[in-house]
Structure 1
Amino acid sequence: MNLIHQALVFDSAAAFLAAAVPFVTEGVHRGDTVLAITSAANEELLREHIGGTAEHVTFLSAVDWFDSPGRTLDAHHRRIDALPGTTGILRVLSEPVWEGRDPLETSEWGRYESVLNVALADARAWLMCGYSSRSLPTAIVDDARRTHPALAVGAQSEASIAYADPASYYAEHNGPLLPRPGEGVERLADFADMAPVRQFVADHATRLGVPAERLADFALAVNEVATNAVRHGAGHGDARLWATDRRVICEITDPGRATDNFLGFLRADPGGGQGHGLWIARQICDLLEMRTGSGGTTVRLHIRRSS
């Protein structure tokens, strides 16, 4: 089978259960791998209504699962890769986490929901994503209808008339990179090899707020992106590093132009020699933004600051 990606828009516990219970119980009876990644309240409801079937469902924390778009996408791949046999599928009942997201995070998680339709297009997976119309902003619920090809209505499925082509949706979200850096920006101009880039990160990242335990990984992600800038740009690039109230940002720019769509969201061929750098960087970073055009390419790598 190919990917089934549904939005479950619900306004009550009854509406949630009408779709969630048959989705989960059918999966268990078929021998599928079933994950439930919902709010605590809806997990309790689901457990109550499926009884002993819950023993065959893997319940996970939504906050942990929806940690960063790149890592969540990779988590889907790893679960799909681990499927036993050739007939079972991965069924994921989830509620993406929107509370506490700032506008950039909200935009990038919307992009993630849309890109799933391309990244997992041929996967043995059925994803049912819950959206509470009572608690979520209307804009997020409306956007769910644009990022999911199908809507779950009870035990049935219907096409979403608002569904947007992922390439078009992706392009809509490629607006200007904001916020623009203010005071306190560190800059490494015109690098052509990686040693100065790694030293640049080591000199400034922790002081700006990168957690010490994540410094090595952050340096690796920056190194991967900077390497791409040198290899595929004009042989050199610039780096800037600064902090906002929530994140530390490293921006890499080069005069080259990238041509691939969904940059860094599509898992590279393990046997191929290219395309791994951005994928790795997306796994490490909490957010990664990329813009490319006739004026060159800019990549922003975000990592949450120490609390």
Structure 2
Amino acid sequence: MNFIHQALVFDSAAAFLAAAVPFVTEGVHRGDSVVAVTSDENEALLREQIGADAERIIFLATSAWYDSPGRTLDAYHRRIDALPGTTGILRVLGQPIWTGRDTLETSEWGRYESVMNVALAESRAWIMCGYDSRSLPTAIVDDARRTHPTLAVGPQSEVSITYADPAFYYAEHNGPLAARPAHGVEQLVDFIDMAPVRQFVADHAVRLGVPADRLDDFTLAVNEIATNAIRHGAGRGEVRLWATDQRVICEIADTGGAPKKNGRNGFLGFLRSDPQAGQGHGLWIARQICDLLEMRTGADGTTVRLHMRRE
């Protein structure tokens, strides 16, 4: 089967169940791998409606599944890779978290929803993403119709007439990076090898708020991006660190352009590299480690910002 990515926009429990129940029960009866990642309320509704079939569904907490865009995408890959045989598929009834997200997080999760249509295009998966129009802002519900090619309407589906090509949607979200703060920015200018970069992170990251047990991972992510900066940025780059109320941000900048991957420059870091390839894994690794990753590239060079939640 071809990858299916649907939005389920619902305004009542009945509307949710009209699409969700046939979706999961068909999967159970076909022997698919069925996962439900919904609100506690909707999980209870599902369990009540489908009875004994609920024992054959994997129910996961939304807070764990929708932890960061990169890690969620990797979780899909891992479950798809683990599918037995050649006929079964992964069915996921999801309900992305939008409440409590700031503007940047909302933008990056929207980008993730769109990029999934490219990243999983060849996958044996059917993903139905729930959007509760009673509680979500209209802009987020409208955006769901732009990031999902089809809409679930009861047990049927229809084409979304406002669906946006992922490359176009991605470019829309590539606005200017937020200005760095006027004060409190640590910087290492003109690095040409990795040892000073790693030491720079060790000197400042925990003090700024990176949890101590995540320092090694954060250092690895910075190292991967800084290595790319040297390799593609005329052999040198710059690195800066600062903190906001919520996150520690590491910015790595160089004067080179981003390397192309399969001719699709804009999706770097969202498209999983061939495990057998000798290079091209840095951005993918950084997306798994960090809570958010921003990347902008142009004639003047490339800038990557790695975000880690503060403790």
Look up the match of 1:303.
308
Show structure 1 runs of 5+ residues with no match: none
Distance 1:167 1:222 in 2: 26
Output the TM-score relative to the length of structure 1: 0.99
Q: Deviations over 1:147-200 (max 9, x none)?
A: 000000000010000000000000000001114233110000000100000000
Q: 1:261 is paired with a residue of what secondary structure?
A: helix
CA distance in 1, matches of 2:251, 2:236: 14
Shift of 1:27: 0.1
Which residue identity does 1:297 align to in structure 2? T
The equivalent of 2:205 in structure 1 is 205
Cα drift, residue 261 of structure 1: 2.4
The answer to whether structure 1 residue 78 and structure 2 residue 78 are counterparts is yes
Cα distance in structure 1, aligned partners of 2:163 and 2:297? 25
Give the Cα separation in 2 of the matches to 1:54 and 1:96. Answer: 21
CA distance in 2, matches of 1:274, 1:105: 29
SS at match of 2:27: helix
Corresponding residue for 2:274?
A: 269
Alignment of 1:278 with 2:283, yes or no, is: yes
Indicate the residue corresponding to 2:98 in structure 1. Answer: 98
Counterpart of 1:287 (choices 292, 297, 300) is 292
Distance in 1 separating the partners of 2:190 and 2:2: 45
* Distance (whole Å) between structure 2 residues aligned to residue 63 and residue 136 of structure 1: 17
Distance 2:250 2:181 in 1: 10
Structure 2 SS opposite 1:128: strand
Give the whole-Å Cα distance in 2 for the aligned partners of 1:14 and 1:81: 34
Which residue pairs with 1:216 in the alignment?
A: 216
Structure 2, unmatched stretches of 5+, are none
Cα deviation, 1:231-272, whole Å, max 9, x if unaligned, reads 111100000000000000000000001142201000001111
Q: How many aligned positions are there?
A: 306
1:38 maps to amino acid: T
Instruction: Provide Cα deviations, 1:67-112, integer angstroms capped at 9, x if missing partner.
Output: 0000000000000000011000000001000011000000000000
Cα distance in 1 for partners of 2:26, 2:59 equals 16
SS class of match (2:266): coil
Matches within 5 A, 1:1-307: 1-258=1-258, 259=260, 260-306=265-311
Structural RMSD (CA)? 0.6
